[in-house]
Amino acid sequence: MAIDLSGRVAIVTGAGGGLGRAHALLLVRRGARVVVNDLGGARDGRGGTPAMAAAVAEEIRAAGGEALADGASVTDEAEVAAMVERALGRWGRIDILVNNAGILRDRTFAKLDLADFRAVLEVHLMGSVICTKAVWETMRAQGHGRILLTTSSSGLWGNFGQSHYGAAKMGLVGLMKTLAEEGARHGIRVNCLAPSAATRMTADIMAEDELAALDPAHVAPAMLALVADEAPTGTILCAGAGSVEAAHVVLTRGVHIGGGDDAADRVLAALDRIVDRAGDFVPQTGIEQPRYELRRRAETLAPRGRAAHG
């Protein structure tokens, strides 16, 4: 099935290079008109120039596509609102939002300044919230929308020196899961992508031979699948080096502990059984955890009740 985005309008943040550029170029090749957003700052988020977004937009236009360059900071509500209005004024709709903008300020938690912690959360998490909020009502009114949030293996599984980055990236998973629920009735599908790619963000983090195989173009197909008309919702895909996987937050079968003064002691004593992955499952919504726990309680207590009446 060929993904056809003819007539669709997309906004890609952080599209002045790396992953964002690869995303924008692929969206255009499949027929979309694209707002190329990039503040043009350094890897740590400082500074800014419109040149990066302008260069990618010009590249798209030179190849026969339609693009607008935009230098809005994703953390500035007024600038993001103006970007959205520009897109609506030019093309009349917004169908796709790819939240890709991000910064790095890696340090161990012991050495990390809280101002840097806040800055990383502000760009990755709040930047995605601000951009998503800016297009949400438009997508609701259209009855169609596709939103992609960029998570990371550092958020899903942790990474040394990236407490702030990991916190932001896992926060995006929680945001995505809730928005997928709330958007479903309005035709809005929301997903996460955890990329592995050679960009200026990863230039000095991985070995040269590894980076050589991690072309951002190998990640973009997973992005495209997650914003297509036929896209799933509430899904986390991981992609890199031509491979695509799915990530899940699972719940083990666990153990019914009950109450009492020694309940915590029994939790520790049963920890191996509690964390045992055999029979684990993926809850589809947050309410499934307490419902499952109530079922376990009922199953545990039921034999005693039957025995008492026997």
Determine the angle formed by the axes of helices 220-227 and 18-29, rounding to 10 degrees: 50
Task: Please give the average per-residue pLDDT across 89-110, as a whole number.
Answer: 97
Structure token pair of residue 29: 């090749």
Task: Please give the average per-residue pLDDT across 176-196, as a whole number.
Answer: 97
The answer to whether 292 is a known catalytic residue is: no
Q: What are the tens digits of pLDDT across the range 232-264? A: 999 999 999 898 999 999 999 999 999 999 999
Residue 45 has pLDDT above 80, yes or no: no
Calculate what percentage of the chain has a pLDDT beyond 70.
Answer: 90
Distance, CA of 12 to CA of 34 (rounded, Å): 7
**Annotated domain spans of the chain:** 9-246, 263-309
Distance, CA of 128 to CA of 102 (rounded, Å): 9
How high is the pLDDT of residue 155? 94
pLDDT bin (cut points 50, 70, 90) of residue 213 is confident
Residue 21 has pLDDT above 90, yes or no: yes
pLDDT bin (cut points 50, 70, 90) of residue 307 is very low
Distance, CA of 56 to CA of 51 (rounded, Å): 9
Of the residues 91, 117, 136, 165, which is catalytic?
Answer: 165
**Got the DSSP string for 26-72?**
HHHHTT-EEEEE-----TTS----THHHHHHHHHHHHTT--EEEE--
How high is the pLDDT of residue 207? 64
Q: How far apart are the first and last CA of the chain?
A: 61
Identify the CA nearest to 147 among candidates 177, 117, 102. Answer: 177
CATH architecture, range 9-246: 3-Layer(aba) Sandwich (3.40)
Q: What are the tens digits of pLDDT across the range 108-132? A: 999 999 999 999 999 999 999 999 9
Residue 308 has pLDDT above 60, yes or no: no
Distance, CA of 235 to CA of 228 (rounded, Å): 13
